[in-house]
Structure 1
Amino acid sequence: MTLKDEDGSGHDRHAVGAAAGSARIRQRDVEAGVASLTEAITELETTRGGGGMNIVFGAARELRPWRQEALVAEVHDRLLGLMTAA
């Protein structure tokens, strides 16, 4: 993602990535959704934006039907790591 806040900081990138991930997951494009969520999680690891956490976790909940897939398990593992580091 290359979207940035008006101040150029990029703090909204995690929210945009998670929203894009949700949209792709709803369209059943799990790989693209996971890719967007992965980018959003990477951004959250540096910014720790509270609102972004809610959006990313909401998007991750939409992955439940695919929870046995390796890609989805990796996302959930990263989210657990994000929670323990917070």
Structure 2
Amino acid sequence: MSLPPATDHGTHLDYGLDTLFGRETKSVECHFHIMRLDDDEPPWFALRVQPPLPEDLEKAQIVVFRAEGRKISGIVRRIERLADDTLQLDVEPD
């Protein structure tokens, strides 16, 4: 999978949460930027989701979204809340 090195914009994000009753899939309309993380092989990417955002997004296990006309999905490996209240999800593509 190749992502552009520049920032992309999105508005619809699906994410999965593991619960006691199995995986729960949720959707949210939000603004996010996609950034390629070049240090990793294969290239991981970071989603920077801007507020307002759902409280449980910090527990996301997987994400699915569309960029450049393609469906992109991956496993969330790290989540960090940034100083501007943006949530960064580092994602390993699947």
TM-score higher than 0.5:
no
Say which structure is richer in strand.
Answer: 2
Q: Please tell me the TM-score bracket, short chain as reference.
A: under 0.3
* Structure whose residues are more often helix by fraction: 1
Q: TM-score, normalised by structure 1?
A: 0.27
